[in-house]
Amino acid sequence: MVAFARAIVQTELRKAQFDKYLLERIEYTFRHRDPCRTGNVDRETLRAILKGSKLPLDKAVLDFLVDK
């Protein structure tokens, strides 16, 4: 199921020609929100980061990612 979601997201990002530098900025934001380097953030933080990044993804896909 996760591999399927990953494939959908990658396809949508390619279609929108999403800039890789913006992805690097999203990664930086995650690292900033996880100073102990646990690899985990809470769902609210995850949702806020993804929505704030303005990923060209449908809301349903974004919600699915957050839930998984």
Count the alpha carbons within 13 Å of 14 in the hemisphere toward its beta carbon: 6
pTM over 0.85: no
Residue 1: what pLDDT?
Answer: 62
Distance between start and end Cα atoms, the chain? 9
* 42-51 contacts, C-beta under 8 A, 24 or more apart: 50/26
pLDDT digits (tens, 9 = 90+) for 8-66: 778 878 877 777 788 788 888 888 888 888 888 888 888 888 888 877 788 888 888 78
Map out the domains of the chain as residue ranges.
Answer: 2-67
